[in-house]
A and B are shown apart, each in its own frame.
Chain A
Amino acid sequence: MNARKNKKVASIALLVILASSGLLAQSTTPSPQAFNTTIYFDYSFNATNDGDLTGLDTAKALNNKFAFRRAYFTYENKISDDLKFRFRLDADNVNAVDAKGKKDDKMRPFVKHLYLDWAGLLPNSTLKIGMVDTITFKLAEDRWGCRSVAKTLTDGYKDITGVDIRASSADLGANFTGAISKELRYGFMVTNGEGYAHPELNKYKKFAGQVQAVPVAGLSFVGYAETERLSDSAAARLDKVDAFFDMVPNLNISGEWFIYDSDNNKNAADLSHYNVGGFSIFGTYKIIIDKLNIFVRFDNYRPNSTDSDKDMSLVIAGLDWAPIHSSWKIQPNVWFYNYKDANKKSDIVVNVTFFLSF
């Protein structure tokens, strides 16, 4: 009886919330629902055997392997012309152990996206609420277009350098993006700041803003800034600039630069402060539309501004080939790591990435 009553109260509360947001004021069209699965799958081998990553010890020498990197399952429901719902499960390997302490690396799904997308608040705008995709590197990732091969600089910084800059591709909160004119766009975001892997751990939120200027057709500049209080005594800030050049048909050249400054970044030896930064320049060229693209990228990583020996660079080059249909791609690619530290030898890893989307 109580359960029924609670349900009724919850239903009324939900209706009040929806009505107050104006959502029920619109009539709705039927719900075109879409299911999609995307998989990134690699065959990789080490072309070097004496590098920092590809050394002779057992773990480093592990080459010639097949590996799933990502498997996404996405459900989208278009509730009306202005309102959409998106649910995405992501799966990757986690370093887990079972109840008996035995290593268990099965791919495990987790919620990556779970949000409402409402395009009716202002003209040419979109409001997303829930576990949303962040605005931090979405524009760069769209231009790079080879997420199956590699994350963009800021997104993949922790994977490459081991240094956490608290930049996540999804987070719990809201973002609002839109266009004032064809020359000027904006974006705002308020999230927990913990990404999709953790619940909120403190009372503070991450605030971000972005402005994109497109002064001439095909040339964009994006300025992004975010700030987050990490504790009562520490804060962090990420500043980022992107530039996109699309003025030549089938060619894109882009650049991404960022600096991350956290009060918690202190050298252990003398507690001196350092910041983290890097830049990336990448280009893609469509040789045959929808069939064959070539991509090249140069990343520079500076994980500690007070210790240049930690600097490193990464060159990624490859082909994006869809022999039959764009839902099935083969992407041979080479990663060339180079380190500032003279004691670290360069690494070359060759991958053949299989991209499947259906």
Chain B
Amino acid sequence: MFYAKFKKAIAIAEIVLAFIFAPILLAQKKMIQVKGSDTMINLVQILAEEYMAKNPKSPIAVLGGGSGTGITALINGTCDICDTSRDWKDKEFSLAWEKGIKPRLFAIAVDGLSIIVNEKNPLTRLTMDQVGAIYRGDVKNWKTVGGPDMPISLYGRQSNSGTYTFLQEHVLNNKNYSPDMKEMNGNAQIIEGVKADEGSIGYVGVGYVIDKATAKPMKGLKVLDITKDAKSEAYSPMDKGAVDSGKYPIARPLWQATNGKPSADEAAFILFELGPEGQKIVEGEGFYTIGAKYIEANAKNLK
């Protein structure tokens, strides 16, 4: 008697649930979810728009949140492709391994991480050590590094940003940022802050500093040349040759990652990004096309 009642209740519940969820399941079209780096969001959004214009049956949603957020989303299975403007950390690879995620990485563009100051600042160059000392808070006045007698005002990103981590690892020697740094939500906010603050310094992807109309730095900003050390020659992140050759010392690949071999839909989108049309968009957005080293690695990971 009891079991008959129970079975009946379960059957009714199944029917009700089927009615509720069937339309939802049927309406769900496989959309590629891309999530991560704020440095890459504009670029990947434009790539996705162009791709969808040619492939209207392949919807793609692109979200930011920062490189760390993107990696977490890939590990938790809540996105298909994650964007990162830094390398994956050991602990992230380890967590992915535990959760059965096998990340495959694709470099889709190259960025010259740009150190920017207010256009009124007469300084034109800094060494890597000087940039590190400024962001650690060891140097607090522009005069110390050959600039005007003016306090330095630091603008940076939040700790979930790949750019924050990249600069910390490659320029700050893994030390902590100064507590005086203003943590901004995105590249655009850093640029606005630097434009408005005469004593400021900021760091953003090169794609954000170039005025597309003039192909020069945006009004109100100055992009500093950077040297590896005091004896080396200084290079600009806007010099493609210097970024490609590694002479510009804080260049970085911009990565996408999938869980294992990309699905057919994911692979088609990545191929578009890596192909001539995609790379033209990369250049149009102020970033640099990938070199032979990455082309080979990408091809291997697509198989």
Contacts and interface: CB of A to CB of B under 8 A. Distances in A.
Interface of A: 26-30, 32, 47-48, 50, 78, 80-82, 123-124, 179, 181-183, 185, 212, 214, 217-220, 246-250, 286-292, 319, 346, 348
B77 interface: yes
**Lowest 8 CB-CB distances: which A-B pairs, in order?**
A218-B100, A246-B100, A182-B94, A182-B97, A27-B176, A29-B177, A217-B97, A247-B100
B99 interface: yes
A290 B78 contact: yes
Contact of A182 (B25, B93, B177, B183): B93
Nearest to A251: B100
Given A29-B176, A47-B6, A250-B77, A179 B91 contact: yes
Interface string B13-37: 0000100010011001000010000
Contacts of A28: 176, 179
B296 interface: no
Contacts of B78: 289-290
12 contacts: A26-B176, A29-B179, A29-B181, A32-B159, A80-B176, A81-B159, A218-B99, A248-B100, A249-B77, A287-B25, A288-B25, A288-B28
B242 interface: no
Contact of A30 (B9, B21, B28, B183): B183
B65 interface: no
B102 A217 contact: yes
Nearest to B5: A47
Most buried by A among B77, B99, B175: B99
B97 to A, nearest CB: 4
- B interface secondary structure, majority: mixed
Contacts of A288: 24-25, 28
A32 B179 CA distance: 11
B99 A246 contact: yes
Contact of A220 (B33, B91, B98, B176): B98
Interface string B161-180: 00000001000000111110
Contacts of A48: 2
B259 interface: yes
A42 B37 CA distance: 38
Contacts of A27: 136-137, 175-179
B101 interface: yes
B158 interface: yes
Interface of B: 2, 6, 9, 17, 21, 24-25, 28, 33, 77-78, 90-91, 93-94, 96-102, 136-137, 158-159, 168, 175-179, 181, 183, 259
Given A124-B91, A287-B25, A288-B28, A30 B98 contact: no
Given A29-B176, A217-B101, A217-B102, A348 B24 contact: no
A83 to B, nearest CB: 10
Contacts of B100: 217-219, 246-249
- A interface secondary structure, majority: loop
A76 B97 CA distance: 28
B16 to A, nearest CB: 10
A138 to B, nearest CB: 13
A29 B136 CA distance: 9
Contacts of B96: 217
A278 to B, nearest CB: 24
A80 B176 CA distance: 7
Contacts of A50: 2
Contacts of A290: 78
Most buried by B among A30, A250, A287: A30
Contacts of A32: 158-159, 183
A25 to B, nearest CB: 10
A50 B102 CA distance: 51
Given A27-B137, A30-B179, A218-B100, 18 more contacts: A26-B175, A26-B176, A27-B177, A32-B159, A47-B9, A50-B2, A124-B91, A217-B101, A218-B97, A247-B100, A248-B100, A249-B259, A287-B25, A289-B77, A290-B78, A319-B17, A346-B2, A348-B6
A47 B155 CA distance: 60
A60 to B, nearest CB: 16
Given A218-B100, A249-B77, A290-B78, A30 B181 contact: yes
A90 B29 CA distance: 40
A182 B98 contact: yes
B24 A292 contact: yes
A81 to B, nearest CB: 6
A27 B158 CA distance: 16
Nearest to B28: A288
A78 B25 CA distance: 40
Contact of B21 (A182, A249, A292): A292
B269 to A, nearest CB: 18
Nearest to B80: A289
A179 B24 CA distance: 41
A253 B92 CA distance: 22
A290 B61 CA distance: 15
Contacts of B99: 218, 246
A78 B159 contact: yes
A288 B9 CA distance: 25
A124 B94 contact: yes
A82 to B, nearest CB: 8
Nearest to B177: A29
A27 B132 CA distance: 13
Contacts of B179: 27-30
A301 B94 CA distance: 34
B67 to A, nearest CB: 15
Contacts of A47: 6, 9
A334 to B, nearest CB: 8
Contacts of A246: 98-100
A123 B90 CA distance: 10
A47 B7 CA distance: 12
